[in-house]
Structure 1
Amino acid sequence: MILQQNNIEFHNVGALEALDGISGLSLVRIPQGVRETLNYRARLRALSPTGVELRFVTEAPQFRLSLAAHEGGNRLHVFRGGYGHSEHGMGGGTTRVFDFAAPETFSTVTSEGLKSGVFSPDVWRIQISGGPTSFWGFDSIGFPVRPPTADEKPALRWLAYGSSITHASVKGYPHRAAHRLGVDVLNKGFGGACHCEETLADYFASEETWDFATLELGINMRGTFPVEEFERRARYLVRRLRDGKPGAPIVLLTHFLNRTHHIPPEQHEDLIFQRQTEYDHVLRAIASEMANEGVHLIEGCDVLTDFCGLSCDLIHPSEAGHLQMGENLARLLEPIIAPLRIAKDEASS
């Protein structure tokens, strides 16, 4: 499913919803019918617009976009193709009309010179991060507007499911790796709430459009769920995705480097240490058993390799850590998705 409305493509948006007591159409990553079956925190995280982009093409020299921030700290990152245009902040509880002008410099170089990267330089990309956000309106001042065509954006779509480490921000490891790989990422991170619910697995398998997936599982479950329940949920998720998207690579990620990897031996009886260790064994077993079905494993400690790439909580990566993770994960994913690139090229030729 690729959502379009008002001739705009809403990337990574599961639905445009009119929420009770909130004006405009909320840009939610998971639709209400699925969202309200999830754990409480996941319901809130599903309203976050991390990784959401409004994409369109217009020859308008200027246009207006109206958005409302439900909470504070929202940021807009604006691009034309892969070129950074501007950044803007939004205060909580406010509605703001943004005026954007086409870059005059684009007319001073050849079109061939501008064609660098996987996005056409004609595509406007309004990337949003922060708290829940509503779309109020768009005004192209009478100029035609259309969504981007398939050849104006990346050919491959990546579903990235995981914890707050995946949720992160537009500078988080999924977005870094996606940029390096030249793919589109659907950021489905749930900070503190990645619990592998069956309804979410069903939704990813049947409603979302993606070519490969990474599943960063465990860190939000190790304090609450016995190993047996983690295994049951993880197996359901992987099997459901496998059956729903035959041929699409599924990549399991063991725990990224964190404090539990370096606790002293006398604390190895700690419940968190034991569950993290056993959860990772489960993921390795699933990947081994389903290797012939296109299920792969990447060790999290091969993605984040530098312990000082963590913030002081020794769980969440710093910005430098996310940068390292993005580079390493892109390198490790490339041989897995290379056959997809070949198939896409052959299909389009």
Structure 2
Amino acid sequence: MVYEKVKLHNIEDLVAVEGFAGLRMQRVPESVRRKLNPEAQLQMCRPACAEIRFVSDHPFSIELSCPKGRGIVEVFYGPFQSQERYEITSDISVIHIPDPNRMTRYDQSKLSSLFLSPKVCRLLMAGEEMYIHDIHGDNCRPPYKEELPRLRYLAYGSSITEHGHATAPHLTYVEQVGMRLGADVINLGSGGSAFCEPAISDYIAARTDWDFATLAISVNMLKFPISVFYERASYMISTICRSNPNRPVVCITLFPYSRELGDNFIGMEDKGSPDDYRQALHQAVRDCPCENVYTLEGSEILNNVGGLSSDLLHPGDQGMIIIGENLARQIRPLIKKFY
């Protein structure tokens, strides 16, 4: 969405909240958020790789706050990472970009093959819910369509999709896939609450701004009986695939995690084994009549458990990169059939 002089990427609503200054940035519209489970309602207010984008040849500044915790903002110029990193707290923080068009000093003909124009200044966000306040800057505009990636990639899943234990937003597997495939990223990860609810399934299906999607139907769903897991996964898969037969949808089974590595505490309330749920997802895909749906094994995507962080559940930076590399490699031939 466009707000004042900037493009808010992966932000679909700005909401005034009583008792808080500024506007809360949300990854789904408020009408959708209210239909989700309580935890998902909170998670969809977290930025999860959302971005503030603009093009300007004058100094620029923006005011952000994170009243309920801590957030981080990293500055990129197109695909180029800068050393600028900001911590956002409950006090209003001013992010000042003195030279947003610094990359134009280089030979643009030698940068023309990039999937994202270096003219686009990008503020990548992560952490707790974040509020936008004032924007200052002359001659500032949202990016043009031709300055942005041609393809758009939507990802749904648990905290592993949202951010996991990545130490920076660009290190999430979703961003890693986007970078490798030259695609913009729409991150709809929902930590601890990716329950494949009809409201989020219908919302994803109704969106017309994505070209391919991954659905990591996940460890969050192991608290449901297998029959409910199948029913919800089946509805999500069929609804999204039927929305447009020319958009490939890739379903990912459970990644390896601690229960399979000897943890006797994790999974005590699960209604079946991890493999039971993996097989239920395979069955849901087989039962979908659409030809644009595919399944990938989480254990083949994260094929080195050393990529997990010490909780043996969430991938660390190395695991995110492994997932990004393997997932992009397997998705590439699938999207070539359509684009």
User: TM-score, normalised to structure 2's length?
Assistant: 0.91
Change (3 A) 1:98 1:254: same
Secondary structure class of the residue paired with 2:92: strand
Distance (whole Å) between structure 1 residues aligned to residue 3 and residue 311 of structure 2: 41
State the Cα deviation string for residues 135-155 of structure 1 (Å, max 9, x = none): 112111x32x22212221111
* Contact 1:219/1:255, CA 8 A, preserved across alignment: yes
State the Cα deviation string for residues 230-265 of structure 1 (Å, max 9, x = none): 11111111111122233211111001111233449x
Match status 1:181 vs 2:176: no
Distance (whole Å) between structure 2 residues aligned to residue 291 and residue 164 of structure 1: 29
Q: CA deviation at 1:74?
A: 1.3
Secondary structure class of the residue paired with 1:293: coil
Q: Which residue does 1:318 correspond to in 2?
A: 316
Change (3 A) 1:108 1:7: closer
Matches within 5 A, 1:72-111: 72-102=69-99, 106=103, 108-111=105-108
Matches within 5 A, 1:1-349: 3-60=1-58, 62-102=59-99, 106=103, 108-140=105-137, 142-143=138-139, 145-168=140-163, 169=166, 170=169, 171-207=171-207, 209-222=209-222, 224-263=223-262, 272=270, 274-290=272-288, 292-341=290-339
Q: CA deviation at 1:306?
A: 0.8
Distance (whole Å) between structure 2 residues aligned to residue 104 and residue 30 of structure 1: 30
Distance (whole Å) between structure 2 residues aligned to residue 280 and residue 119 of structure 1: 36
Amino acid at match of 1:99: H
What is the RMSD of the two structures over their aligned residues, measured on CA atoms? 2.2
* Contact 2:226/2:272, CA 8 A, preserved across alignment: no
Q: Which residue does 1:345 correspond to in 2?
A: none
Structure 1, 324-333 or 145-154: larger mean CA deviation:
145-154
State the Cα deviation string for residues 169-188 of structure 1 (Å, max 9, x = none): 51111111111111111111
Amino acid at match of 1:256: F
The answer for unaligned runs of 5 or more in structure 2 is none
Q: CA deviation at 1:314?
A: 1.4
* Contact 1:77/1:127, CA 8 A, preserved across alignment: yes
Secondary structure class of the residue paired with 1:178: helix
* Contact 2:8/2:52, CA 8 A, preserved across alignment: yes
Change (3 A) 1:203 1:105: closer
Change (3 A) 1:292 1:194: closer
Amino acid at match of 2:75: V
Q: CA deviation at 1:286?
A: 2.4
- Percent identity over the alignment is 32
Amino acid at match of 1:167: E
Amino acid at match of 1:299: E
Structure 1, 274-283 or 107-116: larger mean CA deviation:
107-116
Distance (whole Å) between structure 1 residues aligned to residue 295 and residue 273 of structure 2: 19
Change (3 A) 1:233 1:292: closer
Structure 1, 194-203 or 207-216: larger mean CA deviation:
207-216
The answer for unaligned runs of 5 or more in structure 1 is 342-349
Amino acid at match of 1:245: N
Q: CA deviation at 1:288?
A: 2.6
Distance (whole Å) between structure 1 residues aligned to residue 209 and residue 125 of structure 2: 20
Distance (whole Å) between structure 1 residues aligned to residue 27 and residue 101 of structure 2: 34
Change (3 A) 1:36 1:105: closer
Q: CA deviation at 1:13?
A: 0.6
Change (3 A) 1:226 1:183: same
Secondary structure class of the residue paired with 2:194: coil
* Contact 2:172/2:317, CA 8 A, preserved across alignment: yes
Distance (whole Å) between structure 2 residues aligned to residue 185 and residue 24 of structure 1: 25
User: TM-score, normalised to structure 1's length?
Assistant: 0.89
Distance (whole Å) between structure 1 residues aligned to residue 172 and residue 104 of structure 2: 33
State the Cα deviation string for residues 3-34 of structure 1 (Å, max 9, x = none): 11213211111211112222111111122211
Secondary structure class of the residue paired with 2:48: coil
Change (3 A) 1:303 1:23: same
Change (3 A) 1:107 1:43: closer
Distance (whole Å) between structure 1 residues aligned to residue 76 and residue 338 of structure 2: 27
